Amino acid sequence: MQNFIIRGGRPLKGTLDIHGAKNSVLPLVSAAILLNGKSVLHNCPELSDVTAALEILKSLGLEYIKQGSDITVFSKKPDNCLIPDELMRKMRSSVMFLGSILGRTGKAVISTPGGCMLGPRPIDIHISALKKLGAKVTENHGLLEFEAENGLVGTDIFLDFPSVGATENIILASALAKGTTTIHNAAREPEIKDLTDFLISAGARISGGGTDTIVITGVDSLGSTEHTVIPDRIEAATYMAAAAATGGSITLNRVNPSCLTSVNEALKKAGCEIISDDNTITVIAPPRLKAVKSVETRVYPGFPTDAGPLLISALSTACGTSVFNETIFENRFVFIDELSRFGAKINTYGTVAVIDGVENIWSAECNCTDLRGGAALVIAALKADGISKIGNICHIKRGYEDMPENLRRLGAEIKEV
Ligand code: UD1
């Protein structure tokens, strides 16, 4: 098992470039299935989830070249329509291939998707939307088969909840469908707009990406395109929270500050100074954070659920009591038991975490339970005096490129063993 060994207690200081967004690149790799010719993606992060997405492409008979942060997919109709079970299990986002395979071939077979264990993560919204587009769905021996013999047909779809993944799957499934699909109550996350921008650049007819009403008029085919993946707002939030926790001051380049407004606001309430321009953010933290009376996760542009564990970890040494309400994922707090090993005083009551800030936390041995919970443990280890050991870092590698190197650039003492 690989571990991070971190000697904490130093404020982070310096400048860092943020990578491309994990949650954009995965649907974009999936979208490449809908095109003919070359799909060139720039600014792709080097992550195990991206490797898994490329393995899915390979299993479908599509070839690609990866050179540094560029991925070129030789887009064509897949040779088959089945995502192998071991790849489905590797990550939740494997479900993002459903819409594009079905939209391109008229059939898709998947098993239950894997990913972070954040509580029940059903795909009922995806399934009912694809049914509305004309897919027949059958379940056999743990496999879900989607079939639209005469192709998908556009329609009006109202989402009971603005699911990010379901919105992306509907867009992917509708891009080559007959007629017009309108998604009402669509997710508005920046990664959705990145997907629609990519598809539009390949010839798709889509309007409203990034708003709650998205209109997709199916076209006969999509051609080659080149696209640069947007910056990863959660990677940025992670280093910002780490700087805040350690009383540091850092500048992040290649970010989109307008996508981080809710995170900036929470950190300002905690006493940080935030200075931003078009594509940089500087965080200047006080020696000790102030408690934040109330933070609640919400769909975009609200406070992102993915940044919750990061903020909770930073607030564990704030002055006073903070209250955090998680409204998106039931089991987001699984990492808190591990965080308590550092001496953090956090009680949970259902979806609410009450964080009684302690003056100092101590170093600890702990294990990552999930991707963002793992990053929260790294933040605690950076704050704590002494040497901490964090195990199960495969979770972190799903979503952070070169985390140790980046942190060393900011003056942290961290190694992977
Ligand atoms: C995406 C992000 C993830 C982020 C989440 C919320 C990717 C690869 N992952 O995940 O990092 O935390 O958005 O911003 O982009 N739900 C259902 N039925 C469904 C679909 C979702 O009940 O069919 C529920 C989920 O269980 C969860 C909530 O809706 O409680 C949000 O899920 P969703 O927005 O779909 O998140 P993901 O697309 O899985």
pLDDT, tens only, 49-98: 999 999 999 999 999 999 999 999 999 999 999 998 888 887 777 899 99
Query: SS3 for 93?
Result: helix
Look over the chain and give the mean of its residue pLDDT values, rounded to a whole number. 96
* Residue where the block lists tokens 């940025």: 236
Closest Cα to atom 20 of ligand 1: 123
Closest ligand 1 atom to Cα of 187? 34
Q: If you measure from the C-alpha of residue 173 to the centroid of ligand 1, how many angstroms do you get, rounded to a whole number? A: 18
CB 247 within 8 A of CB 288: yes
Could you give the CA distance from residue 152 to residue 155 in angstroms, rounded to a whole number?
10
Edge-to-edge strand ranges of the sheet holding 143-147: 107-111, 143-147, 136-140
Could you give the CA distance from residue 134 to residue 60 in angstroms, rounded to a whole number?
23
| Kind and range of the H or E run holding 164 | helix 164-174
Contacts of 337 (CB under 8 A, 6+ apart): none
Residue 206, beta-bridge partner list: 216
Q: Measuring CA to CA, which residue among 394, 393, 391 is closest to residue 366? A: 391
pLDDT for residue 92: 73
Edge-to-edge strand ranges of the sheet holding 386-391: 365-367, 386-391, 4-8, 413-416
pLDDT, tens only, 275-294: 999 999 999 999 999 999 99
Q: Which residue of 29, 161, 192, 330 sits with most ligand 1 atoms within 8 Å of its CB, as the best mutation to test the pocket?
A: 161
CATH second-level architecture of 22-228?
Alpha-beta prism (3.65)
260: phi then psi, degrees, rounded to nearest 5? -115, 20
Q: Provide mean pLDDT across the span 371-398.
A: 97
Residues of the chain with CATH 3.65.10.10: 3-19+231-416, 22-228
Q: Is the pLDDT of residue 116 over 60?
A: no
Contacts of 235 (CB under 8 A, 6+ apart): 18, 19, 21, 22, 45, 399, 400, 401
Does the pTM surpass 0.85? The reply is yes
Closest Cα to atom 38 of ligand 1: 165
Band (pLDDT 50/70/90 cuts) for residue 313 is very high
Q: If you measure from the C-alpha of residue 328 to the centroid of ligand 1, how many angstroms do you get, rounded to a whole number? A: 8
Band (pLDDT 50/70/90 cuts) for residue 115 is very low
Q: Is the pLDDT of residue 200 over 50?
A: yes
CB 54 within 8 A of CB 78: no
Q: Which CATH superfamily is domain 3-19+231-416 in?
A: Enolpyruvate transferase domain (3.65.10.10)
Could you give the CA distance from residue 164 to residue 191 in angstroms, rounded to a whole number?
9
Q: If you measure from the C-alpha of residue 121 to the centroid of ligand 1, how many angstroms do you get, rounded to a whole number? A: 7
Could you give the CA distance from residue 201 to residue 276 in angstroms, rounded to a whole number?
29
Specify the range with the lowest mean pLDDT, choosing from 5-19, 101-115, 317-331, 337-351. Answer: 101-115
Structure tokens at 173: 């499934």
Could you give the CA distance from residue 169 to residue 171 in angstroms, rounded to a whole number?
5
Could you give the CA distance from residue 145 to residue 98 in angstroms, rounded to a whole number?
10
Ligand 1 is surrounded, with C-beta below 6 A, by 23, 26, 92-93, 121-126, 161, 163-166, 191, 305-306, 328-329
